[in-house]
Structure 1
Amino acid sequence: MPRNENPIEKNETLGHVVKVQQVIDFIVLSYLMDGRRYHSEMEQYITKTLDGVGVNDAYFSQRLRALAESGHVQREWETDNRYNRFYEITDSGVEYFKMLLKDLPDRVKLAQRVYGLFDSYIAKFNKVNLK
């Protein structure tokens, strides 16, 4: 049989499933809507919101730096202590948050569907003898 004689059309791509950075950005920006927060407060808030699932420290710092560089948050030192950096949402951050709020529900539904299908796919291999 020739290759791709009966191709299956893609409705979506895996790249459209929710990305970790979008989850972090959304939670951070939503938390900052109530006022400025310290780095550690936001990290704890994510862990609490996701029932014990946290964020790698280096990746979280990278996301906060990216949000600041894109103008979505403003970061400032409170003192000379490097651990006293706090963040505030900007007007640009509010607009980005609104865009995420509009876009993420459909992506979450897609992710739930895809991961449900993948979970079923993985289950097929539970009986496979890998010895």
Structure 2
Amino acid sequence: MPRNENPIEKTESLGHVVKVQQVIDFIVLSDLMNGRRYHSEMEQFITHTLDGVGVNDAYFSQRLKTLAENGHVNRQWEGDNRYNRFYQITDSGVEYCKSLLRELPDRVKMAQRVYTLFDKYMDKFGKMNLK
């Protein structure tokens, strides 16, 4: 078939599927609505919320740093122990959390649909001899 003879119209882009950073940001910010939290508390909260699926510590630290740099959270040290860093949500963080709450449900539905279709596609290769 010649190129572009019967193109399939793209209705969405994979770039609109839920991104890991959005999942982390939303869980962190929604948890911070209940008050300040320590890094390790939030990390445990994510793992509990996602039924044992956690976040790489370096990636999580980077997300928290980015949230702080974007003004969505305040980071503060408690004492001189570098492990006692706690976070509080800012007004900007509340607004960002609200925007994620408006945006994410549709993205989650799209991600579920995409992964279901991809799972069916992978099933075609289930009986393939991979040796």
Give the match's secondary structure for 1:9: coil
What count of residue pairs does the alignment treat as equivalent? 131
Give the match's secondary structure for 1:86: strand
Q: Which runs of 5+ in 2 are unaligned?
A: none
Q: Which runs of 5+ in 1 are unaligned?
A: none
- Deviation, structure 1 residue 109: 0.1
TM-score normalised over the length of structure 1: 0.98
- Deviation, structure 1 residue 23: 0.2
**Does structure 1 residue 72 correspond to structure 2 residue 46?**
no
Distance 1:2 1:119 in 2: 29
Summarize deviations over 1:62-85 as a string: whole Å, max 9, x none.
Answer: 000000000000000011000000
Distance 1:5 1:65 in 2: 48
Residue 98 of structure 2 corresponds to: 98
Distance 1:84 1:44 in 2: 15
- Deviation, structure 1 residue 49: 0.1
Residue 118 of structure 2 corresponds to: 118
Distance 2:97 2:36 in 1: 15
**Structure 1 runs (4+) greater than 2 angstroms displaced:** none
- Deviation, structure 1 residue 92: 0.1
Give the match's secondary structure for 2:87: strand
RMSD (Å), alpha carbons: 0.6
